[in-house]
A = this chain, B = another copy of it.
Amino acid sequence: MAIFKNKQKDELELGFGSKNYQNSVRFLGRNGRVNVRRTGLGWINNTDIYHSLISASLLKLIFIILSTYILINLFFAGVYYAIGASHFGGLDIESGSKFQEYMGLFFFSAQTITTLGYGHIYPIGNSASIAAAVESLLGLLSFAIATGVLYGRFSRPKAHVLYSQNILISPYKNSTALMFRITNKKQYELIESEAKLTLTMNDPETNKRMFLNLKLEINHVNFLALSWTIVHHITEDSPMYGLNKQRLEELDTEFIILIKAINDTYSQNVNSRHSYKAQDLIENAKFKPLSPEATKSGTLKISVTDIHLYETLD
């Protein structure tokens, strides 16, 4: 049979091994992350805290910061309470409420760790003063770390590439081609973009996982200014030749896309990845042309979500 006749010459080493899994696997998640969980060294060594913080969602980060702030203050309020409320001038200890004393020390702690230091409450004696001196240093260092994490988050060079929701098999030069579209969804520029398309599927003959390179008609554009339709011509030499959607699904096919570009704001290389499963494939359809308009001043305008639009053919 001729199904895999073209596999040899284009076989690739992507780093996913060649094991053929029982379950259907997805090597890249929809967000482009490699779908592997690494264990064996304990959580602390398999993770990188700084990396987790800069790639966490904004909501999660705010939650982490707030709860750390509260916990540290609860802890230091406890330390101050152990030292004794009488060692803190200006604290309202007349009410006799232990809770209120603790709350007063909690606020004193907050004023100390932020280096706010109103001073209406202040430490008396060595123990209280030492604890406050330690807390204010800790506050400065925590804040230094927070500055680093926030800067790291914002300044991390990102490739904001938008991928069309589907990958199509469209008529192309008297035969067919595999096509998908990408665009830059942000206002700043991606330059010198390069694309690479890999096909991975099970090989029922050898019971191994194959990774095959799919040649692209154009694999480099200078500006990702409007949109870029990335095209693999399904010729007789293509590993896709003769495979339809149903067969691709049976073979647990995944199309893996690597985009390399230069983020012009930071002058740094950025990488974007995406994958389509065979289920995302639409046969016998073509993308609707985008309609950029030129304003009188010579500026072009496009709506980036138009790259998802296609029409099925009869």
Contacts and interface: CB of A to CB of B under 8 A. Distances in A.
A117 interface: yes
- The prevalent SS among residues of A at the interface is mixed
Given A107-B129, A185-B46, A186-B47, A13 B122 contact: no
Contacts of A13: 218, 220-222
Interface string A124-160: 0010011011001101110111111111101111001
A253 to B, nearest CB: 13
Given A137-B114, A155-B50, A188-B51, A225 B147 contact: no
Interface in A263-291: 264-271, 290
A220 B152 CA distance: 29
B148 A150 contact: yes
A3 interface: no
Interface stretch (A33-41, A79-87, A164-172, A239-247): A33-41
A196 to B, nearest CB: 8
A71 interface: no
A188 to B, nearest CB: 5
A123 B38 CA distance: 49
Interface string A182-205: 011111110101000010000000
A138 to B, nearest CB: 10
A24 B294 CA distance: 8
A23 B298 CA distance: 7
A40 B116 contact: no
A163 interface: no
Contacts of A126: 103, 107
Contacts of A114: 115, 133, 136-137, 139-140
Tally of this chain's copies: 4
A39 B303 contact: yes
Nearest to A114: B136
Contacts of A46: 185-187, 304
A17 interface: yes
Given A187-B47, A191-B271, A110 B122 contact: no
18 contacts: A13-B222, A14-B223, A16-B300, A34-B189, A36-B225, A36-B300, A39-B304, A41-B304, A41-B305, A45-B185, A46-B304, A48-B188, A107-B126, A111-B117, A119-B122, A145-B150, A267-B270, A268-B268
Given A14-B221, A17-B290, A51-B187, 13 more contacts: A14-B222, A15-B193, A17-B225, A36-B292, A41-B162, A45-B185, A46-B187, A48-B160, A69-B137, A110-B133, A110-B137, A222-B258, A264-B271
